[in-house]
Amino acid sequence: MATGSGLDAQLGTKTETTVGTQVTPVTQFFPFNSAGLAFDPSYIEGSGLMAGQRFKDIAQVGIARKSATGKIEIPAMFKGFGWWMKHILGSSGGLANPTLVSGTAYKQVHVPGGLRGLSFTSQIGKPEPGTGTIKALTYRGCKVLDWDLTLADNALTLLSLTVDAWDEDNVPALATASYPTSNGSWNFSHVNVFNVGGTPSTAAGVTTIAGGVAVPSVVTKLTLSGKASLANERYGLGNAGVKKEQLENDFFALTGAFEGEYDAATWDNPFRLGTTVAIQCTSTGPAIGASTYLLDMIIPNAKITKAPAEVSGPDLVSVSGEFTVYSDQVNPACQITLISTDSAAW
């Protein structure tokens, strides 16, 4: 029975074959915390003077540009999470597609790739409290502008992202939501490796870190953030107020932030010396036969850009720092490896 509240809401997506060409029904459905994607038109109004008219004429008002933008936040789940890695990093083909490890366990290795030609259709079911009706609003030409993947003490692992879309459509029917069964979510207790330092190397498309050292102090939060610089105002004559594909027009930015107890050797020394450090953070989940669910993040080359240690009383000295990720032209800027029961590419 419909409640008329957010309990009835749903979020579904599907990768588009052609950028901006809506594909329905959507087929990938995700638990989500919030979905703020909404129509964002640009109104234009005439200001032609007419004798005795003190107000602008409504006949001269219209929508000049169509767009849709908004934030989405989802918990990182054991299953289905690779779909989002594809769209935030631009990974495609090869090792990004699930490869059998053993039994029903499949591995995906996601590294940054190109965003050109990569987009998705998103549909959000928004319930009306007064009627109980779930309104289906569908967005085409979706691309991710920026995102944060956050692992924090006593919390679920969360992915927060900003989406830019071409247009909103209220015609397609609400898709029937279907979710993977027994799908758990990643949380802080799953993080069993957090290393800084070591030597990165890549062989057969897979990057590893040799000699990384476990951080001796307590780290309570780690965030990896991505920002794609996209030309998302490519409007032109003949497009009926709808944009063309959002194309990259500057460097892709990968940055990070961390919080925890002060440790000079791990944070302060690399910061002061400008040392390049590798970072690895691994979450290990339940067993999948002879394997396990895995969410592994490797950053081969980072510079600690801020590492202030604040003494604010008798409590433990804390640090709240930042880092920037760079490419060494040999290893990928970052690598996110997943092991799950997902057996098919999207």
Strands 230-231 and 253-261: unpaired
Q: Give the count of domains, the chain.
A: 1
35-91: pLDDT as tens digits: 999 999 999 998 889 999 999 999 999 999 999 999 999 999 999 999 999 999 999
Q: Are 138 and 118 in contact (CB under 8 A)?
A: no
**Whether the Cβ atoms of residue 333 and residue 298 lie closer than 8 Å to each other:** no
pLDDT of amino acid 223: 98
Going by C-alpha positions, the residue among 339, 72, 290 that lies closest to residue 186 is: 339
Q: Is residue 103 part of a domain?
A: yes
- pLDDT of 158 reads 98
pTM: 0.95
**Phi–psi pair at 155, nearest 5 degrees:** -150, 160
pLDDT digits (tens, 9 = 90+) for 223-260: 999 999 999 999 999 999 999 999 999 999 999 999 99
Task: Summarize pLDDT for 162-213 with one digit per residue, the tens.
Answer: 999 999 999 999 999 999 999 999 999 999 999 999 999 999 999 999 999 9
Residue 53 located in a structural domain: no
Q: H helices of the chain, where?
A: 81-89, 269-273
Of 259, 273, 277, the residue nearest 319 (C-alpha):
259
pLDDT classification of 283: cutoffs 50, 70, 90: very high
Q: Give the per-residue pLDDT at 345.
A: 83
- What average pLDDT does the structure give for the chain? 96
Contact 340, 288 (CB under 8 A): yes
Q: Which residues pair with 191 in a beta bridge?
A: 283
92-114: average pLDDT: 96
8-state DSSP, 189:
G
Residue 52 lies in a domain: no
> Does residue 54 lie in a domain region?
no
Strands 230-231 and 134-152: unpaired
Burial class from Cβ neighbours inside 10 Å (0-12, 13-18, 19+) for residue 105 reads buried
Whether 49 is covered by a domain: the verdict is no
Any domain includes 345: no
Instruction: Classify residue 258 as exposed, middle or buried by CB count within 10 Å of its CB (0-12, 13-18, 19+).
Output: buried
Residues in CB range of 184: below 8 A, 6 or more apart: 77, 78, 285, 286, 293
With b for 16 or more beta-carbon neighbours within 10 A and e for fewer, the 110-141 pattern comes to bbbbebeebbbbbbbbbbeeeeeebebbbbbb
Token representation of residue 332 = 């990928």
Give the helix/strand (H/E) hosting 339. strand 335-340
Domain that holds residue 146: 6-40+60-340
The pLDDT of residue 93 is 87
What SS3 state is found at 182? coil
String of b and e for 275-287 (b: at least 16 CB within 10 Å)? eebbbbbbbbbee
- The DSSP call for residue 207 is E
Q: Is residue 128 one of the residues assigned to a domain?
A: yes
Cα separations in angstroms, 95 against 110, 114, 227, 293: 7, 15, 23, 17
Cis peptide before 332 (omega within 30 of 0): no
pLDDT in the model for residue 235: 96
Note the pLDDT of residue 1. Answer: 59
Tell whether the torsion through CA atoms of 174, 161, 88 and 84 is positive or negative: negative
Strands 134-152 and 219-227: antiparallel
In a domain, 275, yes or no: yes
At residue 175's C-alpha, the angle toward residues 171 and 178, to 5°, is: 165
* Cβ(298)–Cβ(278) below 8 Å: yes
